[in-house]
Structure 1
Amino acid sequence: MNVLIVHAHPEPQSFTAALRDQALRTLEAQGHQVQVSDLYAMQWNPVASAADFSSRENPDYLVYALEQRLGVKSQSIAADIRQELDKLLWADLLILNFPIFWFSTPAILKGWIDRVLVSGICYGGKRFYDQGGLSGKKALVSVTLGGREHMFGEGAIHGPLNDMLRPILRGTLAYVGFEVLEPFVAWHVPYISDQAREEFLVAYRHRLEQVADDLPIEFPRLSQFDEALYPLG
């Protein structure tokens, strides 16, 4: 299996980085091929703009998704996007590894998503959910956060964590066709003991050793809807 880990944390000694390293060790020990995109170390540019294209179909008005489609065909898309897109298409499993910032992803990871999930390849028209351009691949989100587990759930102060992760799990990964696995979550990590952190690392290793057998979260399938995308039945 080919695995791409996209890591987004500004501190190289962070526990999020320890999760990245655990994933790399575990997956390589199983014989998988692994590439890592460390966005902060790469100084990844998160800003989607006209500068992403060396030439444009419409130089007077930027429709970013349209220029993405044409830019890939004409090879006018920025080299850093093309490199990450090649990694993404190579991968059978994508792992997004990041801390929760303000109920969301770090901006640098959002910028990777904006620039690399290219229209015309990853999605477009009715190529979404199970018909998305990345169908047949799997995706796993591994996150760290400062909150305690009891703060997340039905009736909890912050609500269910998967509601918070909905834009990434459903609106991004499932939308482009990934089979999305249940997230791996390390709770309260800035405040727990080294032993507790080690327990999270061990749990993550066990999870990754069985990742090929993980069942994905259920999301809509286009066969459940008519041509106008009204639900059938």
Structure 2
Amino acid sequence: MSGKTALIAFAHQERTSFNYAMKEAAQAALEKKDWTVLVSDLYEMKFNAVLSRDDITGEPKEPNHFKYGAETLLAWKEGHLAKDIEEEQKKVEKADLVIFQFPLHWFGFPTIMKGWLERVFSSGFAYGAKSMFSEGPFKNGILHFCGFNVLAPQIAYTVAHVTQEVRVGILKSWEKRLETIWEEEPIRFLPIQDFDTSGGYVLKKEVEEARSADKYGPTVGQHLGKPLPPDSQVKPEGSGL
């Protein structure tokens, strides 16, 4: 794993938080294995999470009918995206591994992390009409969509309500996983060829029929009423989360 680069996109405003401890543990564990670790501390950076016309420099192509996706695609091609977007995109390009470290807010990202994803993972840079899903969100709809090989999440539950001993154990489990994270197999997703793209991305009837005798369903959202496969989008019980 030596010689590789990791990017930690970190979204928590307090350095006394367990999220910060997770970020520090990841950085130390990877650097111990001779990784170069880049950190985007979004609150520390005061990262702008709001999409706007200011995300491009110069005059937009259609100033009277501004379309964010089309304008940022053109700006990416011509090299006039906003400086903060370009700087973050350069970090992503350098990274062999990207870790998103954040607390769940209402079962999703903190606003600042969502804004980072929306602004940095721009059209052209992160995705396009010819590079969806199998060639490529969170996980399938964002990361796999944009071409990432997605690993299972590392989730720490109810850290505010467990003992210090348990919290230390969670950190050690995370550090242990990072020692061999480059050897992990990515989560399985269905290839786009299995979907009828003319009918709202539903699974093709022939794919359903071919899988009718399978013990497991294909994946989350397309489980066909069966249990999820062991290499699906969540880690199995006893995985040390």
TM-score, normalised on structure 2? Answer: 0.79
Across the aligned residues of Structure 1 and Structure 2, the Cα RMSD in angstroms comes to 1.5
Indicate conservation of the 8 Å contact 1:98/1:106, yes or no.
yes
Instruction: Tell me whether 1:128 sits opposite 2:132 in the alignment.
Output: yes
Residue 208 of structure 1 pairs with residue 178 of structure 2: yes
Residue 183 of structure 2 corresponds to residue 179 of structure 1: no
CA deviation string 1:125-181 (max 9, x = no partner): 13112312xxxxxxxxxxxxxxxxxxxxxxxxxxxxxxxxxx512211111111111
The one of 44, 48, 51 equivalent to 1:48 is: 51
Quick one: structure 1 residues 14 and 230, their matched pair in 2 at CA, closer, same or farther if it must change by over 3 Å?
closer
Report the more deviating stretch, 93-102 or 52-61.
Answer: 52-61
Instruction: Tell me the amino acid that sits aligned with residue 110 of structure 2.
Output: P
Aligned partner of residue 19 in structure 1, secondary structure: helix
Alpha-carbon offset, residue 73 of structure 1: 2.1
CA contact (8 A) 2:77 2:124 kept: no
> CA shift at 1:212, angstroms?
1.0
Residue of structure 1 aligned with 2:38, choices 35, 38, 41: 35
Matches within 5 A, 1:148-159: none
Q: Are 1:24 and 2:10 counterparts?
A: no
1:1-233 aligned at under 5 Å gives the runs 1-55=4-58, 56-132=60-136, 167-225=137-195, 228=198, 231=203, 233=206
Which whole-Å CA distance do the structure 2 matches of 1:108 and 1:225 have between them? 33
- Structure 1 residues not aligned, in runs of 5+: 133-166
Report the secondary structure of 1:179's partner residue.
coil
Superposed structure 1 runs of 4+ greater than 3 Å apart: 225-232
Indicate the structure whose relative CO is greater, using CA pairs within 8 Å and at least 6 residues apart: 1
Partner Cα separation in structure 2 for residue 181 and residue 22 of structure 1: 18
Deviations 1:193-229 (A, max 9, x none): 1111100000000111111121211112133346746
Give the secondary-structure state (helix, strand or coil) at the position aligned to 1:186. coil
Query: Once the two structures are aligned, what percentage of the paired residues are identical?
Result: 37
Task: Return the letter of the residue paired with 1:34.
Answer: V
Counterpart CA distance in 1 for 2:167 and 2:66 is 46
SS of equivalent to 1:184? coil
The normalised TM-score by structure 1 is 0.81
Higher share of residues assigned strand: 1
